[in-house]
Amino acid sequence: MVKGEDTVSKKALSFVDAELAGLHEQNLYNNIRTLEGEQGAWVVIAGRRMLNLCSNNYLGLAANTRLKEAAKQAIDDFGVGPGAVRSIAGTMSIHTQLERELARFKKAEATLVFQSGFNANLGVIPVLVGRDDVIYSDELNHASIIDGCRLSRAEIKAHPHLDMKALEELLKADAARPGRKLIITDGVFSMDGDLGNLPAVADLAEKYGCVSMVDDAHGEGVLGSHGRGIVDHYGLHGRFDVEVGTLSKAFGCVGGFVAGPANLIDLLRQRGRPFLFSSSLTPSEAAANLEAVHILEASDKLVVQLWENARYFQGAMRELGFDTGRTQTPITPVMIGDAGKARDFAKALQEAGIFAMAIGFPTVAKGRARIRVMISAAHSRADLDFALGVFGRLGREMGISRR
Ligand SMILES: *Cc1c(COP(=O)(O)O)cnc(C)c1O
């Protein structure tokens, strides 16, 4: 290195320390916890066993024995790495089998699997729309939808959350506009647990000649028959054009997919950039996801357990006087309001042996801070009762619950 060069580059990077300091000052710096073992109803953090109310492991499949065995077998059969991107030499029979069986499970013509749900959005949105086109997007849509929309270079028109009148006004105003039009919504909004209005979106898409797309990350394995997702929940098979899903939440492993018409999936194989330019899922991931599909197809036991747990917990929390917001799913926001109070509450929960996170601005609006409790089929009744006992006591002590 030439003398002096390091000091020059250090100067150019001085914004890093300033930005970090800013995050600390505003209390927005996230101290990331490390789990010292597997993901389950209980986790070990800093040597301490805690009840896990934070994860998206809705069905407890992340450490399921059958998924583990399927992953191990795939390592023996296919090795540990795909060796290439899907479009060159990284497509193995375990990937195509997963795609076929996932399509059957989803009741879709075809699916294409990506490395994550995030990548699936980055892959599919720029294939659906481009520079001369327009996207209508709910203001609370997930970050990966927003990034996919930006990558597409289409014009983005956001409408207020779930405001179908406002959406129709935008569509009416653009009625004579040439180019393609895409309406895009989350299936389940992850901070409040409320549902996208898919029936209304399907109607509007048909009326105004738009493509309809839903990102159902928190609905896969949770909503619909056997966890087939939100399109199944609303009985909209054939009326929603594109479904994006994740394999990283209820499915217990990692990955994402697009489900839709066979010709669109065919085009995605030619044009989906994360599919073309980033290596595929490992064989063990594909095999574990395939095993999750088999488990869900064979039985809805875990999905039923998840909903039973969610109803029990949410009902008891309301009885304790907590405000659980507008949730329609196992996502349980415990509304607190003030961000500092929410942080203190999360800290007290953690001291009492409960791993739960406070969520505040900018993830949710100012004054809408909350603890977001994620219920899982893996929780036993005793686990939920333990959580309710702690919430009840701390809620009274800290003046958060109304009773
Ligand atoms: C979690 C989530 C994703 C990302 O899924 P990954 O598989 O973790 O990349 C995408 N969209 C929505 C709506 C999500 O909630």
Q: Which of 248, 281, 298 delimits the end of a domain?
A: 298
Examine the pLDDT at 3 and tell me if it is beyond 60.
Answer: no
> Contact, 141 vs 167, CB < 8 A?
no
Residue 386: give its domain's CATH number.
3.90.1150.10
Index of the ligand 1 atom closest to the CA of residue 141: 13
Report residue 32 as tokens. 């990331």
Structure tokens at 144: 């990966």
In a shared domain, residues 106 and 180? yes
Give 401 Cα–ligand 1 centroid separation in angstroms. 31
- For residue range 158-174, what is the model confidence (pLDDT) as tens digits? 999 999 999 999 999 99
- 255 Cα nearest atom in ligand 1: 7
Q: 233, 249, 376, 401: which one is catalytic?
A: 249
Catalytic residue among 55, 152, 190, 376: 190
Q: Which two tokens stand for residue 132?
A: 């001369």
Q: What is the DSSP letter of 194?
A: P
Verify that 204 and 308 share a domain, yes or no. no
Residues 228 and 174 in one domain: yes
91-123 pLDDT, tens per residue?
999 999 999 999 999 999 999 999 999 999 999
Q: What is the pLDDT of residues 188-218, one digit of tens each?
A: 999 999 999 999 999 999 999 999 999 999 9
Indicate the range of 48-52, 157-161, 173-177, 399-403 predicted with least confidence: 399-403
Looking at the structure, tell me whether residues 235 and 352 fall in a common domain.
no
CB distance 35 to 62 below 8 Å:
no
**Are 379 and 290 found together in one domain?**
no
Same domain, residue pair 84 and 217: yes
d(CA 270, CA 260): 15
Q: Average pLDDT of the chain?
A: 96
Alpha carbon of 215 to ligand 1 centroid (Å): 8
Q: Alpha helix locations (H) across 84-179?
A: 93-106, 117-128, 143-152, 164-173
Q: Identify whether residues 150 and 228 lie together within a single domain.
A: yes
Instruction: Verify that 74 and 196 share a domain, yes or no.
Output: yes
Q: What is the pLDDT, as a whole number, of residue 136?
A: 98
Query: Catalytic: which of 218, 226, 233, 379?
Result: 218
Q: Is residue 19 situated within a structural domain?
A: no
Residue-range definition of the domain harbouring residue 269: 65-298
For the four alpha carbons of 326, 331, 333 and 334, in that order, the dihedral sign comes to: positive
Q: Are 390 and 373 in contact (CB under 8 A)?
A: no
16 falls within a domain: no
218 is catalytic: yes
- Is 106 inside any structural domain? yes
5 pLDDT higher than 70: no
Verify whether residue 341 is a known catalytic residue.
no
CATH number for the domain that contains residue 263: 3.40.640.10
Q: Which of 55, 58, 115, 118 has most ligand 1 atoms within 8 Å of its beta carbon, as the pocket-test mutant? A: 118
Domain shared by 282 and 394, yes or no: no
| Among candidate residues 298, 329, 361, the one where a domain is terminated | 298
Residue 401 appears among annotated catalytic residues: no
Q: 122 burial class (0-12, 13-18, 19+ CB within 10 angstroms)? A: buried
Q: Which atom of ligand 1 is nearest to the CA of 186?
A: 13
Count of domains in the chain? 2
- What pLDDT sits at residue 1? 47
Q: Which of 298, 325, 340 is the last residue of a domain?
A: 298
C-alpha 355 to ligand 1 mean position (Å):
21
Query: What does the angle CA 272 – CA 277 – CA 282 come to, to the nearest 5 degrees?
Result: 100
